[in-house]
């Protein structure tokens, strides 16, 4: 969280007497060290740090380029409604080269009891059961369907991102 706060401050963000922290591994919170006075600006985040449609346009994100060109379609309309999520996927794939890297690192990891999302190590616990074969079959089919839908919706802008 410190790297995120440092990055945001370097980009012009101001936290006043607020401090970013974790309440749990999932919950991110802002704590005030003093009472906040009426009309006091206690947090400022520069617009260029937002992850939104405008940011995708400004950075000339390939997803935005694909979505902004070509014919209108229901897939395109759906993708436009999700452009922030698609942009985060693209930026996450860039790793430390992404402008939003420190922000992305603050996002919670997805944890689930659904074995389709388990690590290889966790799946080894099921080794030898029919469940592992069924999981692999369903995962392969689901990944193909997701990749095909995303490719169609974005005109192939995400095709270079691994579907691991």
pLDDT at 113: 65
Kind of pairing between the strands at 28-32 and 18-22: antiparallel
More confident residue, 40 or 145: 40
Contact predicate 96/102, CB 8 Å: no
Is residue 163 scored above 50 in pLDDT?
no
Taking the alpha carbons of 88, 89, 90, 96 in that order, is the dihedral positive or negative? Answer: positive
Contact predicate 83/63, CB 8 Å: yes
Mark out the alpha helices in the chain (DSSP H runs): 2-10, 53-58, 62-67, 74-81, 83-94, 101-104, 120-123, 130-154
Residue 21, both tokens: 């922290």
Query: Distance between CA 22 and CA 1 in Å, rounded?
Result: 8
Read off the pLDDT of residues 68-82 as tens digits, 9 standing for 90 and up: 666 666 666 666 667
């Amino acid at each position: 969280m410190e790297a995120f706060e440092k990055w945001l401050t370097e980009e012009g963000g101001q936290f006043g007497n607020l401090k970013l922290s974790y309440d749990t591994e999932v919950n991110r919170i802002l704590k005030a060290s003093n009472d906040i006075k009426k009309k006091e600006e206690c947090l400022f985040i520069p617009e260029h740090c937002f992850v939104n449609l405008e940011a995708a346009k400004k950075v000339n994100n390939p997803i935005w380029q694909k979505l902004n060109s070509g014919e209108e379609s229901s897939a395109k309309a759906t993708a436009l409604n999700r452009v922030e999520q698609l942009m985060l996927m693209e930026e996450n794939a860039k790793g430390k080269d992404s402008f939003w890297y420190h922000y992305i690192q603050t996002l919670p990891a997805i944890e689930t009891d659904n074995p389709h999302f388990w690590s290889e190590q966790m799946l080894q616990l099921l080794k030898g059961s029919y469940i592992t074969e069924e999981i692999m079959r369903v995962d392969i089919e689901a990944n193909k369907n997701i990749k095909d839908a995303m490719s169609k919706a974005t005109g192939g802008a995400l095709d270079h991102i691994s579907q691991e």
